[in-house]
Structure formats: structure tokens, C-alpha cells
Chain A
Amino acid sequence: MQTATKAKTGNRSKTNYLVDLVIGMSFLLATAPNATGEPIHEWLSMGLLVMVVVHLLLHWQWIVAITKKLFGNVAWQQRINYMLNIGLFIDLTIIMFTGVMISKTVVPLLGLELPINMTWRSLHGLASNVGVVLIGLHLALHWDWIVRSSKRYLLQPIAKRLHKPATQLATKEQSS
């Protein structure tokens, strides 16, 4: 029973790590529309929106728990983390909304035509710059978990795969 729970927690942690890794990489790529081109930038951002919702759903229990006891007995680190996450949610919503308002690929594909409004463009740029800082802070607050998970789910499997042929070779030599 305990082993099953451990395995479930491990799988959940692995899913969290993979989702976060994809979000992080996509965000960095999405901040350079001139490098990727507008269509990739817009479709990547749409994918990012879905991944952010998945990220929120995966951490739903934490959100509910901290919301319930925000003004009660809760560690200050958790409180700061919660406030930062609210800021990040607002910022990402602004980025997504202003992105849709200045869209040149996704929105026209749906047959919609929005009026050109330079305020949305300025806000989009400003919010994405703020987003870089907020995501940096978000990563910093979870840095220990990121290092631990990277070792477990990224570095160890790679190291195992690299060492496997050598071990197999040694076993073969021993048997012969």
C-alpha cells in the first residue's frame, strides 16, 4: 500500500517536472518572436496557455489549502509564494489577452478581425518583460525542488543510459 502511494507521488512529481520543463522552455522561446516567426510564436503561446492551465490543475490542492488559511497560521514563505503566484497569474493573463488582441495568425484564422491598437502591443511587451522577472522569482522559490527533480528525472536516467553499455560489456566479458 505504502509502495503504491510512493509510486503515485513519484509519478505525480515526474508529471509536474515535465510540465514545468515544457512551460519554461516554451516561455523562453515565446519571448523571441523575431527568432521563431510570428506563427510559431502565436501557436506556441496557445500551447503555453493550455500547459499553464494544466500546471494550475496539478497544483489545485495547494492553491485551495493556502487560500483557506492565507490569513491564518501559514509559513511566510508560503504566503510570499502565493502572492507571487497571483501576480504571475495576472501577468500571464495580460500577456495572453494582449497577445490575442494583436494576433496576426491565430485570430485571423478564426475569421475574426480586431482593430489595430498599439496600447495592447505596448502592454504585451511590458507584461512579458515583467513575466521574465516573476518567473525568475517563481523558479528561485522552488529552486531546491528543481535541482532535486532534475537530478532524479533528467540527469540520473541519462547517466544510467550512458553507463549501461559499459556494464553490459563487463558482464559479457566476465561470462566468457
Chain B
Amino acid sequence: MKLLGRIVIIALAAALVIGGLVALVPSSAAAGFAAGRPERQLTLEAEQSTTDQSTNTARPEFAGRERGGDHHEGGFVHIIRNAAIMAIIIALVAFGMRRLRRRRDLVWL
């Protein structure tokens, strides 16, 4: 019962965030944007030229992005990139804090 209560609290907190998000994202603008962008094509048709996608005339701002996918949809390189970002943050924050604590510059740490 206690566990269920805790899960309900977590779900309510998540629902609060989702509610806020849905309220903040204007649905009409989202629909307009969605209508403007063509569905992402992952494979080329046999008769389709390879330059078709990189010279997208419908929405030039997306030209060349369809084939490679969006920047956040990488392959294994993305795992390495994200791990590297985390490692840099850890190095800066954790070791920086340890140094500061040793030097007693920051009493509250």
C-alpha cells in the first residue's frame, strides 16, 4: 500500500509535467510545422537520384538532413559523444569540487 502510494505520487508529478508541456506546446503551430516537413525517407527508390534529398526544394532549411537523420539520432558515435560529454562534466564538477573542498574555499561544500 505504501509502495503504491509512492508510485501514485511519482505518476502525479509526471502528469503535472506532461500537463504543463501539453499546455505550453501550441497544437496549431505544431500541426503547421508537421505539415510543412516531408516524412523522412530512409531509403532511396531505384530510379531516384541521390541528389534528390540534399536539394530538397519543398523546405530548403531541411535540405540534406533527411538522409543522415536529425542530429540527435546518431549511431554508435553518439554513445561515445554523450559519454565524453558526461566525462568532461564529471571531471570539471567532481574534481573541481574536491579541489575547492581541500582548499576550504567553499565551506558549504
| Chain A residues proximal to chain B, CB less than 8 Å | 28-29, 31-35, 53, 56-57, 60, 75-77, 89-90, 93-94, 96-97, 115-121, 123-126, 128-129, 132-133, 135-137, 139-141, 143-144
Query: When chains A and B are docked, how far (Å) is the Cα of A45 from the Cα of B87?
Result: 22
Q: Report the contact-size class of chain B (Cβ under 8 Å from the partner).
A: 35 or more
Q: Which residues of A contact B90 (CB under 8 A)?
A: 136, 139-140, 143
Digitize B64-103: 1 where CB-to-A-CB distance is under 8 Å, 0 elsewhere: 0000011111111111001101111110111001100000
- Contact, CB under 8 Å: A121 / B70: yes
Q: Which residues of A contact B3 (CB under 8 A)?
A: 57
| Chain B residues proximal to chain A, CB less than 8 Å | 3, 6-7, 10, 13-14, 17-18, 21, 25, 29-31, 33-34, 37, 39, 69-79, 82-83, 85-90, 92-94, 97-98, 108-109
Q: Which residues of A contact B92 (CB under 8 A)?
A: 140
B6 touches which one: A57, A121, A129, A139 (CB < 8 A)?
Answer: A57
Shortest Cβ distance from residue B39 to the other chain A in the assembled complex, whole angstroms: 8
Q: Which residues of A contact B69 (CB under 8 A)?
A: 34
The residue of chain A having its C-beta at the shortest distance from the C-beta of B108 within the complex is: A76
Shortest Cβ distance from residue A113 to the other chain B in the assembled complex, whole angstroms: 15
- Contact, CB under 8 Å: A132 / B86: yes
Please indicate which of the listed interface residues B31, B88, B89 has the most CB atoms of chain A within 10 Å of its own CB.
Answer: B89
Shortest Cβ distance from residue A77 to the other chain B in the assembled complex, whole angstroms: 6
Query: When chains A and B are docked, how far (Å) is the Cα of A141 from the Cα of B97?
Result: 9
Query: When chains A and B are docked, how far (Å) is the Cα of A96 from the Cα of B76?
Result: 21
Shortest Cβ distance from residue B100 to the other chain A in the assembled complex, whole angstroms: 11
List 16 A-B pairs, Cβ < 8 Å. A32-B75, A32-B78, A35-B79, A76-B108, A89-B14, A119-B30, A119-B33, A124-B72, A125-B72, A125-B73, A136-B86, A136-B90, A136-B93, A139-B89, A141-B94, A144-B98
Query: Assuming the A-B contacts A31-B78, A32-B74, A93-B17, are A118 and B30 also in contact, with contact meaning beta carbons closer than 8 angstroms in the complex?
Result: yes
Query: When chains A and B are docked, how far (Å) is the Cα of A93 from the Cα of B31?
Result: 22
